[in-house]
Structure 1
Amino acid sequence: MTLGAKPHHPPRCCVVGGGPAGIMLALLLARAGISVVILEKHGDFLRDFRGDTVHPSTLQILKELDLLKQFELLPQRRESHLSGLVAGREQPVVDFRGLRPFDYLALVPQWDFLNLLADAGRRYEAFDLRMRHKATGLIQAGGRVAGVHVESPTGAYELRADLVVACDGRRSTIRDAAGLKAKDYGAPMDVLWFRVPRSASDPQGTFGIVNGGHLMVLLNRNDYWQTAFVVPKGSDATLRAQPIDGLREAVGRLAPFLSDRKDSIESWDKVSTLTVQVDRLERWHKPGLLLIGDAAHAMSPIGGVGINLAIQDAVATANALALPLREGRALDEALLASVQRRREMPVHVVQRVQLAIQNRVISRALEEGGRPPRIPWLLRMLLKSRIVRNRPARLFGYGIRQEHVRTPEFTA
């Protein structure tokens, strides 16, 4: 089947959104011999400042799909431990060393990761990825969702499917169209994303810096720093009304080794804003419709777990639904509800940890003013132990109720 070609018969599944959850789910279903159409509104995956953190749980899934060797050929940086600079003092926080089977996380451009999954999906005739095709609403028939309305470069059309899975992110069009409501847990911060050139003499690794009421995370991308500058919630417009010099000076104060390159932040046009939200749908499904990934639960950037939880959702969905879809069985809502039951607890636990860090660490760091932050001595003592530092690594890296690929590869 050629890219964007319409099948002669309605697909069993329509996946809305070509992010990590959507492409992984489509790959798993097509691999199991199930016809699936993926609607991605953009023309490519090349969008900067998306989550690039691939944790061990996702590495395990790639291994189970025989994609790990191809993944390892992608440009990436491996991190085995993460630290923070708190008032100029280095503090180890997270340590993957000693964990098995993967003792690191990988920083990989998300577009490369998605292209890898899409290329793997295209090996199967049942995989139909349609770029620049935007789902704009739901088709209802017989008291259930029966498909979606689509806008494409060649015009609007209706796409009917036995199941619609919304993977279209935290601003999900499908979620709004379905009238599903999320509980908002709040966030005290937003994040400014930008690049700063990296010098060979700069520190190694990926680390955070906390000082003087500011918090910044530097992700080592070899030739540049992908920089996350944390600001109080809702302050973006006020900051952008001021000269860019204010941001440059703050970066130079937090990371003096970047002072000679702070002018590389040319203007506010070079700075992207991530509006942080943490929410979760009370109900992830309706008859004929399932939501997973950010469409069902927006995660805080803390821990970089968004991609990995989305992938886990996709694997759990395929495990639960592939056989009924393959056999042509009707998908009752109880079956869709089983996916939520499977995935809701792991999401809930991670979100609780994220909220605790937001409220007890980040909020206080942003409120410090000019005072140097302090780490309680007991916590400093505990973090000297790798066993203690392994705990957040295992929670964020492997998660709770880790998923594994249970769907067999279909051969005609």
Structure 2
Amino acid sequence: MSTEILFLSHRIPFPPNRGDKIRSHHILRRLARMAPVHVGCFADDHADLAEEVELASLAHSYYLARRTKPLVLAGFQALKQGKPISLTAFRDASMANYVREKLASGRIGTIYVFSSQMGQYVPDDFAGRVIMDFVDVDSAKFDAYAEKSRGPMGWVNGREGRLLAAEEARLAARADFNLLISRAEADLFAQRLGALARQVRIEVLGNGIDSEYFDPLQVGPECQMATMPGPRLIFTGQMDYQPNVAAAIRAARHILPQVRERHPGATFHIVGRSPTDAVKALSHVAGVHVWGRVDDIRPWLKAADMALVPLDIARGVQNKVLEAMAMELPVVLTSAAANGINAVAGHHFAVADSDEALIALVNNLADKPQAGKAMGIDARRLVVERASWQSTLAPLADMLSAPPRKWRDAA
């Protein structure tokens, strides 16, 4: 059987500077060491297009599509076709042609689908192996959005969650392997599939961390931030992503003011690309600094005294948490943000869900900096020993050697 791989991703896996790109980047590199890989993916902007040279150096062949379809148009198409907006937003005729051409060559033995948006490109008659990497349960995320939304957006998010759940079930039935980022996500996925879960194969493929890169000994602290009073709290991430926006607002408006009553010098630093107007407005709150995009997140983590991650909605494993742990930062986070990280609360990080409890944890670590330092050291040790990309992606070799489901069913 052919051994070449077709890798389909909703975003170009370069550079590895946000959660989904970090995962897809490392998976693509691992697959490319096993067999020739052909890549179909999308670019969101000119910065993505500038990464084409990196893609060309790794892929045996590739098609990089510029995603220009306005969300409003995708929404109208979705309503007309009865499909999720997530699918119509990533529907591209040229991408479909590229997939058909690659499959027609007869050299593709495995299709690796990264994210449910790209499952629409897998034809029903493909006889090879299909690995469906959902990462996390997107439909559950939109269900959570619907619960928190009012008016028309509540209906839109509810519809998206319902239709995505049906698409996830269709893809799960089609795939040889269905991958989720953590045991909690895998269990949630199985629960939402119902009886179908007994007929499909659901596996956990976790995220890793490059602990040699995220090493506090490799960088110095960012100068502007390091000269500010402390304790210095940091939140990192893509700052036009709704859960990150909500978490930053929560920290700046509800947690930091209470911390500053006890520690007047406390500052909160929001570091990440594409801050929304709501995030930028937080710079007017006393002690809050919005830095936007930075070339290297490590000096900013090195300059911080602790990471504060008060996410209400979090799917899968939070790379921002792993990165902070690898940099020996004590992390105060919600149970949602701790999901999927095999660590001990109170030892490797501090977990609480209410504002009052999060404030108490931050104040406690600020009062006892040596305890925070010890927590950070234990956190890095855990990451180095248990969360390397080499160990987390090891199961891919067995998946690529397993006979395709269609062959097994025919046997």
TM-score category, normalised to shorter length: 0.3 to 0.5
The one of the two structures with greater contact order (alpha-carbon pairs below 8 A, sep at least 6) is 1
| Richer in helix (by share) | 2
